[in-house]
Amino acid sequence: MAPVLALVGATGAVGGVMIDIMNNRPAFPWGEVRLIASARSAGKKMTVRGQELTVVEISPEAFDGVDVAMFDVPDEISARWAPIAAERGAVAVDNSGAFRMDADVPLVVPEVNLDKVAERPRGIISNPNCTTLSMMAAVGALHRKFQLTELVVASYQAASGAGQGGIDRLYAELEAVAGKHVGNRAGDVAEALEAAGLPAADSPFPAPLAMNVVPWAGSLKEDGWASEELKVRNEARKIMGIPDLKVSATCVRVPVVTTHSLAVHATFANPVTVAQAHEVFDAQPSVVLVDDPANLKFPTPADVVGGDPTYVGRVRQALDFPNTLDFFVCGDNLRKGAALNTYEIAEALIG
Amino acid sequence: MAPVLALVGATGAVGGVMIDIMNNRPAFPWGEVRLIASARSAGKKMTVRGQELTVVEISPEAFDGVDVAMFDVPDEISARWAPIAAERGAVAVDNSGAFRMDADVPLVVPEVNLDKVAERPRGIISNPNCTTLSMMAAVGALHRKFQLTELVVASYQAASGAGQGGIDRLYAELEAVAGKHVGNRAGDVAEALEAAGLPAADSPFPAPLAMNVVPWAGSLKEDGWASEELKVRNEARKIMGIPDLKVSATCVRVPVVTTHSLAVHATFANPVTVAQAHEVFDAQPSVVLVDDPANLKFPTPADVVGGDPTYVGRVRQALDFPNTLDFFVCGDNLRKGAALNTYEIAEALIG
């Protein structure tokens, strides 16, 4: 019998991308798709591969007969319901932060550590944070060949990393400042937003995002670090199996709707040239190399959004650091950074 | 007799900021200000400290009697005219790239190496590139105390770094995409721009900048490096007098009108704590420390634009790198990054 796939959080921002991915997948091995959401969204109709499905309310029984349950919901919902799905016999593939650092839960990027899906004592597999994921296919491929020892990363993170509320806020802010030619005097952006009925208190971001960048993502952790920056460090170590990997990350939100970019400074145990790195990227099916600066070709978020691969460019050998490459990576944070990676894990589980 | 100051490039974007700075300086030691520009702009009237001045056309004679001539013009204009100004007896303070790496031309940031203005065999002093300058007051202060050895930098550079054409283009692009909710599909931004009469060929940027980031600034140099990235490296070495400083920079344009930001990963010969770094920043008059993440306080370009100081925040001790700090810097690229630093040098020369 063909396996049953559940999607928990079907009506959210990532849920919508997940349905888009399912609709466009060349092969579809699932016998049944079950859309699950909160009571508020239950009863909603959504179309998956030409079939109109009715969203059902989350309950223990909703997981009966499910082989794989994908969770795209906030941490606390996953923390409560993923173990229940597992008890009912499903493998839970969770895109929240609830289980990522749990020693009994594998944290999986199929291109890097698909073998880890087999060890899942809790019946749960975690999907990495979108910022980590946006670079992992590229960095993981280099690591396999040259053995990664250090990562210094600065992010250019999209508004949609903060969910539908982040997308809506950025669009509203852009509309409020457009044509006003503000931005050359302190406070002008904030004033334009207030005047447009967009008070700072209503924003998911701690500062205006239109015509601005905001060096903050997540919540405050020890010693001034933002949770997103520690996730990049801890998840990169776990995914690649390098417990002593040296990592410094600075996470910055930029006024881009979708696609996270990262400036990566990566040091390896072994010597590596630009030509060798190009070879590695060319050989990795999920990576697209766009690296021709003589013709002004490099990845930008606008070129990447809506696509599945990780785009890499600006590959340079560091001039002063041995065995080190500098490069720029762009990945759609809603696709490979969230829905796609989760779906790839789900497919691998039954393949 | 009170000294005579010339401003070459009075009618450009940086020239305008320079006049604003002169108008708002508490003391003004100059007996005469002479505004100089190309033939096209000669005859224009501009007001400096309440006095209407007429812009004069550049010529050798225009520099007669001038003590200090500030140049805010393209490289090739400076290359031609700064030596002529020097011949006529003026000290040329040049904000172009023409002389920065000339061994006989000091490259000066007053907070860091003001002593260097005395050695000027060519009669020319250079002002650093705006990206280098945006971090130099902060990085230089740390270097004095802890001895800098390595810098890994990622920039978030404003459109005005590309001059008035860059500012105009960003405003036009923002207006073209506002309210259209484009940005979630590849090519949509470019299409919206085309539809609004903003073809890519007319842009000073190699890709759309609205709702996008572009990992490129300057021209192509050897091995895939952009000129702006090499300037950060070579100028930082020269200004701080550390010929073997290890530097990797990735320069990225963001849809911000004015103020460059940098994510800095700085390694020192000596141990350094966050508290010690805060002390150094507090003691540096041209640096403003905004570092209270518990209350979501950190510098963003919108808070900084139009101001003179360099703003620093997000100071963290690197978790895995000894003697290393990660922090975020914002500086108005038209003020400290260009006009202000040039004017400070001019003032120091007569003070």
* DSSP conformation class of B167: H
User: Which two structure tokens, joined as six digits, stand for A300?
Assistant: 């930008």
For residue A232, which of A204, A208, A263 has the smallest C-alpha distance?
A263
| Distance spanning both ends of chain A, measured CA to CA | 14
CA B216 → CA A151, B131, B167, B226, B253, distances in Å? 21, 13, 17, 7, 7
- Helix runs in B295-339, H state only: 301-304
pLDDT at residue number A178? 83
User: Distance (Å, rounded) from C-alpha B56 to C-alpha B44?
Assistant: 8
Taking residues A272-288, report their average pLDDT: 97
Find the closest chain A residue to B176 by CA distance: A178
User: Which two structure tokens, joined as six digits, stand for B288?
Assistant: 């403003």
**What is the predicted ipTM?**
0.95
Q: In which residue are the tokens 């021709």 written?
A: A292
| Mean per-residue pLDDT of chain A | 95
Q: Would residue B260 show up in a list of annotated catalytic residues for this protein?
A: yes
Give chain A positions within 8 Å (CB) of B178. Answer: 174-175, 177-179
At A179, the pLDDT band (50, 70, 90 cuts) reads confident
C-beta of residue A306 within 8 angstroms of C-beta of residue A235: no
The answer on pLDDT for B182 being more than 70 is: no
Taking residues B188-208, report their average pLDDT: 90
**CB A248 to CB B190 under 8 A?**
no
Taking residues B257-268, report their average pLDDT: 97
Helix axes B227-240, B130-146, angle to 10 degrees: 40
pLDDT at residue number A301? 94
CB atoms within 10 A of CB A273: 11
User: Distance (Å, rounded) from C-alpha B340 to C-alpha B158?
Assistant: 17
The answer on pLDDT for B63 being more than 70 is: yes
pLDDT at residue number B183? 58
CB atoms within 10 A of CB A111: 20
- Helix runs in chain A, H state only: 13-24, 75-87, 110-113, 130-146, 163-177, 188-195, 227-240, 274-282, 301-304, 340-350
User: Distance (Å, rounded) from C-alpha B311 to C-alpha A214?
Assistant: 13
**CB A174 to CB B211 under 8 A?**
yes
pLDDT at residue number B288? 98
User: Distance (Å, rounded) from C-alpha B136 to C-alpha A242?
Assistant: 35
Domains with residue ranges and CATH for chain A: 4-127+338-349 (3.40.50.720), 132-158+215-331 (3.30.360.10), 166-200 (no CATH)
Give the tens place of pLDDT for each residue, B241-253. 999 999 999 999 9
Report the number of secondary-structure helices (H) and strands (E) in chain A: 10, 14
Provide CB contacts within 8 A for A116, sequence distance 6+: A106, A107, A108
Give the tens place of pLDDT for each residue, A182-231. 655 556 788 888 889 999 999 999 999 999 999 999 999 999 999 999 99
Q: What percent of chain A has pLDDT over 90?
A: 89
Task: Determine the Cα angle at A160 with ends A182 and A103, to 5°.
Answer: 140
| CA A184 from centroid of its chain's CA atoms | 33
A38 burial via Cβ count (<10 Å: 0-12, 13-18, 19+): middle
- Tell me the pairing of strands B148-156 and B260-268: antiparallel
Q: How many CB pairs under 8 A join A and B?
A: 233
At B184, the pLDDT band (50, 70, 90 cuts) reads low
Give the tens place of pLDDT for each residue, B99-123. 999 999 999 999 999 999 999 999 9
C-beta of residue A244 within 8 angstroms of C-beta of residue B321: no
Active-site hit among A143, A251, A260, A330: A260
C-beta of residue A30 within 8 angstroms of C-beta of residue A48: no
pLDDT at residue number A298? 97
B149 three-state secondary structure = strand
User: Which two structure tokens, joined as six digits, stand for B95?
Assistant: 């904000």
Q: In which residue are the tokens 């290393």 written?
A: B324
Smallest Cβ–Cβ distance between A315 and the set B178, B187, B224 belongs to: B224
Give the tens place of pLDDT for each residue, B200-243. 999 999 999 999 999 999 999 999 999 999 999 999 999 999 99
- Tell me the pairing of strands B246-250 and B287-289: unpaired
Closest-CA distance, A334 to chain B, in angstroms, reads 10
Find the closest chain A residue to B252 by CA distance: A263
DSSP string, A238-267: HHHT-TT-EEEEE--B-S-SS-EEEEEEEE
User: Distance (Å, rounded) from C-alpha B183 to C-alpha A249?
Assistant: 26
User: Distance (Å, rounded) from C-alpha A48 to C-alpha A237?
Assistant: 36
The answer on pLDDT for A306 being more than 90 is: no
Q: Is the pTM of this model over 0.90?
A: yes
Smallest Cβ–Cβ distance between A316 and the set B224, B298, B318 belongs to: B224
Give the tens place of pLDDT for each residue, A101-124. 999 999 999 999 999 999 999 999
The answer on pLDDT for A22 being more than 80 is: yes
**CB B306 to CB A215 under 8 A?**
no
**CB A320 to CB B190 under 8 A?**
no
At B177, the pLDDT band (50, 70, 90 cuts) reads confident
Active-site hit among A130, A143, A251, A330: A130
Q: What percent of chain A has pLDDT over 70?
A: 98
User: Distance (Å, rounded) from C-alpha B151 to C-alpha B148?
Assistant: 8
Taking residues A8-31, report their average pLDDT: 93
At B306, the pLDDT band (50, 70, 90 cuts) reads confident
**CB B212 to CB A316 under 8 A?**
no
User: Distance (Å, rounded) from C-alpha B332 to C-alpha B339?
Assistant: 10
pLDDT at residue number A316? 98
CB atoms within 10 A of CB A115: 10
At A275, the pLDDT band (50, 70, 90 cuts) reads very high
pLDDT at residue number B38? 95
pLDDT at residue number A258? 93
C-beta of residue A5 within 8 angstroms of C-beta of residue A33: yes
- State the Rg of chain B over Cα: 21
Taking residues A45-64, report their average pLDDT: 97
For residue B342, which of B95, B78, B6 has the smallest C-alpha distance?
B95
**Phi, psi values for residue A205, rounded to 5°:** -110, 150
For residue B255, which of B171, B153, B182 has the smallest C-alpha distance?
B171
- Site from A131, A248, A259 to mutate, B interface, most B CB atoms within 10 angstroms: A248
Give the tens place of pLDDT for each residue, A118-167. 999 999 999 999 999 999 999 999 999 999 999 999 999 999 999 889 99
The per-residue b/e assignment along B270-298, b for 16 or more CB within 10 angstroms, e otherwise, is eebeeebbeebbeebebbbbbbebeeeeb
- Site from A174, A180, A259 to mutate, B interface, most B CB atoms within 10 angstroms: A174
pLDDT at residue number B331? 96
pLDDT at residue number A183? 58
C-beta of residue B325 within 8 angstroms of C-beta of residue B347: no
Give chain B positions within 8 Å (CB) of A173. Answer: none
For residue A58, which of A127, A7, A123, A3 has the smallest C-alpha distance?
A7
For residue B73, which of B4, B133, B18, B3 has the smallest C-alpha distance?
B18
User: Which two structure tokens, joined as six digits, stand for A181?
Assistant: 């030619």
- Site from A173, A203, A250, A312 to mutate, B interface, most B CB atoms within 10 angstroms: A250
Q: Would residue B130 show up in a list of annotated catalytic residues for this protein?
A: yes
CA A72 → CA A6, A339, A349, distances in Å? 11, 8, 18
C-beta of residue A260 within 8 angstroms of C-beta of residue A159: no
For residue B257, which of B175, B313, B194, B341 has the smallest C-alpha distance?
B175
CA B264 → CA A254, B134, B318, B325, distances in Å? 17, 11, 11, 8
B275 three-state secondary structure = helix
Find the closest chain A residue to B258 by CA distance: A184
pLDDT at residue number B185? 57
A205 three-state secondary structure = coil
Smallest Cβ–Cβ distance between A246 and the set B181, B225, B320 belongs to: B320
Taking residues A67-87, report their average pLDDT: 97
